[in-house]
Structure 1
Amino acid sequence: MSNWYQGKIRYQKVDEKDRTIKITEVYLVDAVSYTDAEARIYETVASNTPDFQLFGLSRMKISEVFFVESGSETWYKLKVNFISFDEKAQKEKRTPFNMLINAATPLEAYNLLVERLGTVEDYQITDINITNILEIIPYEKPEEKILKNGNFKPLAEVLGNA
């Protein structure tokens, strides 16, 4: 299960008319904790935005993020109600899930999500909202990051040579 955190940064920029304007950007990070999310936002943003301030970090309930390679940079949040039948209560039960997908228009977001969900269960897409998310930063395990940059061997191989 992913833990998604929405981080907002603010910085100042000089525009074409030599006016200083405040810019706010929103990032979505898949992280294990608030501290991890904050560190990863700083790591991502610091390379291209020199003097910024992280002024908001909150947990966001997202069950699935779909990245479409040919899609737009605009992210849509869709609320999907999965419908099941409760045998004990003899009633229809609706379980809501929030999902993100990148698309150019709300109609394209709807069609792309329907394509990805297929005919798994009965569901209704009840809300489609545009978000102000600039970038989504997926989770990378720390071990993978270390192994990419280091000269490490598996423990079994080291013990086998001893």
Structure 2
Amino acid sequence: MSATWYECKVKYRKTHETGEQKVSTDTYLLDAVSFTEAEARITEEMTAYTSEDFKIMNIKVANFSEVHPFENSDRWFKSKVSLVALDEESGKERKTNIYMLVQANDVKEAFENTTEAMQNTMGDYTIPSITESPILDVFPYFSGEEDELEKFEAIESAVTTEQEN
């Protein structure tokens, strides 16, 4: 089952480095199965993030087919990727656009990270645009079973190695 990403706008009082408090509206991205779950998850994340009151201003389905975090990057960029396919009946090229959210420090790095994310793609593609996203942070869903899965895979690979020897 693929993730449905939700963009959540949250208004809250933010304390800046100078100690000054200002009301800020920030955008966050999270995956959920419904608007109800998205609201519950953003409430949980924001409660852990700020002790101030906050208000969820908007929740909408985001148009991202893939999200790619990269280490040592602090900004998010929206990459428009055009997948190129040849229509065999008409002989014309058809382009299908997908949008990816890629973490990077600047546009050049976002282009490189988008290219890296697309490296296993069999077909041709172009990257017509990359724009900085207003998204501050991404909260993927973790069920808590990921650690158990990693342990299972480690045991399974050890057993396979022993059987080969």
Report TM bin, short chain.
Answer: 0.7 to 0.9
1:5 partner SS? strand
- Distance, in Å, in 2 between the alignment partners of 1:124 and 1:4 is 24
2:95 is aligned to: 94
Query: Residue 8 in 1 paired to residue 9 in 2?
Result: yes
5+ residue gaps in structure 2? 149-165
1:47 partner SS? helix
- Distance, in Å, in 2 between the alignment partners of 1:123 and 1:44 is 36
Q: CA deviation at 1:57?
A: 0.6
- Distance, in Å, in 2 between the alignment partners of 1:134 and 1:91 is 40
Match of 2:61 among 55, 59, 62: 59
Q: CA deviation at 1:98?
A: 0.1
- Distance, in Å, in 1 between the alignment partners of 2:15 and 2:41 is 26
- Distance, in Å, in 1 between the alignment partners of 2:79 and 2:18 is 38
4+ residue stretches of structure 1 with deviation over 6 A?
none
- Distance, in Å, in 1 between the alignment partners of 2:47 and 2:95 is 42
Q: RMSD value over aligned CA atoms?
A: 2.1
5+ residue gaps in structure 1? 148-162
Q: CA deviation at 1:102?
A: 0.5
TM-score, normalization: structure 1?
A: 0.80
Match of 2:131 among 129, 143, 151: 129
Q: CA deviation at 1:25?
A: 1.5
TM-score, normalization: structure 2?
A: 0.79
Q: CA deviation at 1:82?
A: 0.3
- Distance, in Å, in 2 between the alignment partners of 1:16 and 1:138 is 28
Q: CA deviation at 1:20?
A: 4.5
1:112 is aligned to: 113
1:94 partner SS? strand
Q: 1:18 to 1:27 in 2, by over 3 A?
A: closer
Q: How does 1:64-79 map to 2 (within 5 A)?
A: 64-70=66-72, 72-79=73-80
More displaced stretch, 11-20 vs 82-91: 11-20
2:163 is aligned to: none
Q: How does 1:137-148 map to 2 (within 5 A)?
A: 137-141=139-143, 144=145
Q: CA deviation at 1:144?
A: 3.8
More displaced stretch, 111-120 vs 50-59: 111-120
